[in-house]
Chains A and B, each alone.
Chain A
Amino acid sequence: MLEYKNDKWKALLALGPTLVLMAIFTFYPIFNTFFTSFMEGYTFNVWYDTRYAIGWLEHFGETIVRTEYDAAGNIIGETSTFVGLGIGNFVRLFKDGTFIKALKNTAIIVIVSVPISVIIALLISVALNGIGKLQGFFQTVYFLPYVTNTIALGLVFSVMFASRSGLVNSLLVSLGMEPVAWISSLGTNNNPTYASALFVLTLYTIWNGLAFKILVFLSGLQSIDKQYYQAAQIDNASRWRVFSKVTVPLLSPMIAYITITSFIGSFKTYTHVISVFNGRYGPASDPNMLITVVGYIYDALAQMSAMGKLAQASAAALVLFVIILLITLVQLWVNKKKVHY
């Protein structure tokens, strides 16, 4: 009966507004960002100074020379720009030291934080699953980070690891040890190192991401048939053997899902960095120390009225998209071989 009715007009009425919004804010951006990343010499012209103006369409395919002015209106130099479509934005991107640094930082953050947080979450979930009474209580406690403002708690971590009056350094001093310059300097020659800054950032990433992982793992664990564990018990299998031969294989779809989402999530790390370092991408002594790809994109976007910045942001976003797509495909391929459904 349902197959024979035709609700074309009703559907248009019900879906229409949603489709209009989707067209503007979802479908158009996909094409627009893709297209913009190949537009060279393009300036986003809404409120910019007319002296910089280039009519992108009027000068399509030309190389034009622009005079650069400073704020006071003095000539500070000339630059020539190709106007048209090409891969120049990508070439410039990979020649930009900051972008390479951002790629490297992001890769390091991903490689360090994803395995650690997945393994910790797995251990916690298995431990939680093994206890009776207090399970609900612990689960509620572990869920708290999820419902907190990422910026607010990132700032708390920056306070906890502050060189003066921080929790960790106060603890170290009271134990008779030297305070450490975790994320802020301790005097002129004692600046935070890359490792200490990365440590604090990773700790916050783990803290913030545990809740969701535990929730998924625990619901997975609870759906595993008890018979497998009873069989293992009859065979007198050790705890480790039960964990590695029964729990992990039977939980592999959840592990695969969590690994993929964590990979994607940490490739887009941004708010964690900005809050732990109090509005910067690193300690005051090196404010770009841990800049990420997404941070690079938003920095470029914030200056989009400057020549080529919008295209630069789009190109970087496209690179991010390709990386994420590749990771997803590789993991799906690995999962096909390893995951037991």
Chain B
Amino acid sequence: MQQDLFMTDDEKRRYKVKKVFTKIGIYIFLIIIALFIVIPFYWMVATALRSTNELGKTSISFFPEVWHWENFPGAFKFAADRNASFLRFYLNTIIVGAATTILSMISVTFAAFSFARLNFKGRDALFAIFIATMMIPGEIFVISNFSTISAWGLNNTYTAMVLPFIVDVFYIFFLRQTFKQIPDELYFAAKVDGTSDFKYLFKVMIPMAKATLTTIFILSMMGTWNAYIWPNLVATSPDMYLVSNGLLTIYRDIDGTGTILNYQMAAATMVTVPLLIVFLLLKKYIMRGVSRSGIKG
């Protein structure tokens, strides 16, 4: 385009060659980074498929010598031998995740609705206070909440893992922004037709904010799937472990020093794969939500 005006043919050719080489350079760089990202996933699966014998060697080949698929049921059996059940960890995670997510979505919807559509004294000040709490590091809350939960005798219960995480200020903020974008005219029209505020919320606002609600749903489920710190504090009995806690504590030698690598990696694979599948199916919603949040930094 612009080059045509200023360049001789020779210059044009050199420009093109240079451009092709930079493009190749960029692709090589991107492929190296992609390998850096993907290799840990491969190594996880590869380690899960190796025999214990093979893993005892100093140096091993990139591909497993024999593919030991029986390590996957083996990982469950190993947990059972340690008086724990990996299936139970899954179940716990799903129960806690579903309960947190459902209760959280109810609380978030009504709170966002109040801040976006209702009029009451101190609304904006209260919202500012909500937002301000996002700046405080989570450890401050964890310390006090752990003593609260312990004082209530709720250790090793699902309630302990759900209750402190029902209210999420970021989700309230996120949904309020979406609700705010719904034009006022719609509300006035509904009012003229004699619709109550709550009916308007269910018939108009929630359907219109479906994408945002889906994002919140996914992020919240993902949050529980990855949770480690809080469950590790309140769930001390293996019956109540979530997947992360199970992964880190179960696959050890009887004396606790060594790790049974192939079983641990088989379990890690089974924890990782469901989330990857969900991601590939719902990529759009997840990336949209994450680019606005940054919960994981």
Contacts and interface: CB of A to CB of B under 8 A. Distances in A.
Interface string B213-225: 0000000001001
B38 A141 contact: yes
A321 B136 contact: yes
B124 to A, nearest CB: 13
Interface stretch (A75-83, A188-196, A258-266): A258-266
B259 interface: yes
Interface stretch (B70-78, B94-102, B283-291): B283-291
B133 A215 contact: no
B137 interface: yes
Nearest to A316: B139
Contact of A284 (B34, B43, B151, B257): B257
A339 interface: no
Given A14-B113, A127-B26, A2 B136 contact: no
A32 B151 CA distance: 14
Contacts of A262: 297
B59 A10 contact: no
B142 A156 contact: no
Q: Is the interface of B mostly helix, strand, loop or mixed?
A: helix
Indicate the size class of the contact surface on chain A. Answer: 35 or more
Interface string A227-258: 00010011000010000000000000000000
B244 interface: yes
Given A26-B133, A142-B33, A170-B60, A10 B118 contact: yes
B247 A173 contact: no
Nearest to B184: A2
B167 to A, nearest CB: 5
A293 to B, nearest CB: 9
Interface stretch (B80-88, B174-182, B204-212, B261-269): B261-269
Interface in B127-141: 130, 133, 135-141
Contacts, number: 283
A262 B296 CA distance: 9
A24 B113 contact: no
A149 B150 contact: no
A134 B276 CA distance: 20
Interface of B: 2, 22-23, 26-27, 29-30, 33-34, 36-41, 43-44, 47, 54-62, 107, 110-111, 113-114, 118-121, 123, 130, 133, 135-148, 150-151, 153, 163-164, 166-167, 169, 172, 184, 187-188, 197-198, 222, 225-226, 228-229, 233, 243-244, 247-249, 257, 259, 261, 264-265, 268, 271-272, 275-276, 278-280, 283, 286-287, 290-291, 294, 296-297
17 contacts: A8-B120, A11-B114, A26-B133, A29-B144, A47-B150, A150-B244, A151-B247, A152-B44, A155-B265, A160-B39, A164-B56, A209-B297, A216-B291, A262-B297, A304-B146, A304-B150, A317-B140
Given A32-B147, A159-B264, 18 more contacts: A7-B120, A14-B114, A28-B148, A46-B150, A127-B26, A140-B283, A141-B37, A148-B41, A148-B272, A150-B244, A165-B56, A165-B60, A174-B59, A233-B2, A274-B248, A314-B144, A317-B140, A320-B139
